[in-house]
Amino acid sequence: MLKDGRGTDVTFSVAGELFHAHRCVLAAWSPVFEAELFGPVKEEATQPIRIDDMEPTIFEALLHFIYTDSCNAGGNVAMQHLLVAADRYGLDRLKAICEDKLCHAIDVETVATTLTLAEQHQCVQLKDGCLRFIASRDVLRDIMMTHGFKHLVASCPWVIKEILDKMIEVSIIQW
């Protein structure tokens, strides 16, 4: 349905790229799309709905999920952006899939950014995975040198205490 474009009745403009879709399909999957497309302040069908804060590839991956129930986003950064989009549109299943994939991609360079994302979007599983990664390895010094860690400290300073608590917990268990 999405690829052949038959019966589409809504158009989105994402960074100048147009995406055609079906209102009913979007509304069935997303309470946000339902409110936006059928609520009292619904968007008019004559003009494309502009989405200014998302990359076209991420919106395309979001639509792909809605129409196929499968996630085709690329690397870690794309998955982070897709998680944000899933949260924004109330797509809990997609958010959980992104969380799971990000949990398996944690490394020294990405853990602080991923932890910030998990905190900001209430991703309990992802947050726990990040905390366990930090606490179970001798990597904190390397993590603290990343730009992501500086951003974590600035945007979610209370998480530093959670990192320390997790490190103490792990050291007690190992002791």
pLDDT tens for the chain, residues 1 to 175: 778 778 899 999 999 999 999 999 999 999 999 999 998 756 566 689 999 999 999 999 999 999 999 998 788 899 999 999 999 999 999 999 999 999 999 999 999 999 999 999 999 999 999 999 999 878 999 999 999 999 999 999 999 999 999 998 887 766 5
Tell me, yes or no, whether 135 and 81 share the same domain.
no
How many domains are there within the chain? 2
Tell me, yes or no, whether 132 and 165 share the same domain.
yes
Sheet holding 17-21, edge to edge: 17-21, 10-14, 49-51
Tell me, yes or no, whether 147 and 73 share the same domain.
no
Q: What are phi and psi of 133, to 5 degrees?
A: -60, -45
Residue 26's Cβ-count burial label (10 Å; 0-12, 13-18, 19+) is: buried
Residue 79's nearest CA partner among 63, 56, 58, 65 is 58
pLDDT for residue 42: 63
Tell me, yes or no, whether 5 and 66 share the same domain.
yes
- CATH at residue 54: 3.30.710.10
- Classify residue 99: in a domain, yes or no: no
- Classify residue 34: in a domain, yes or no: yes
Question: 59, 51 in Cβ contact below 8 A?
Answer: yes
- Classify residue 97: in a domain, yes or no: no
Tell me, yes or no, whether 72 and 123 share the same domain.
no
Domain finish residue from 58, 91, 124: 91
pLDDT for residue 171: 76
- 170: amino acid identity, one letter: V
- Classify residue 2: in a domain, yes or no: yes
Tell me, yes or no, whether 32 and 5 share the same domain.
yes
pLDDT for residue 2: 76
Residue 145 belongs to what domain range?
106-175
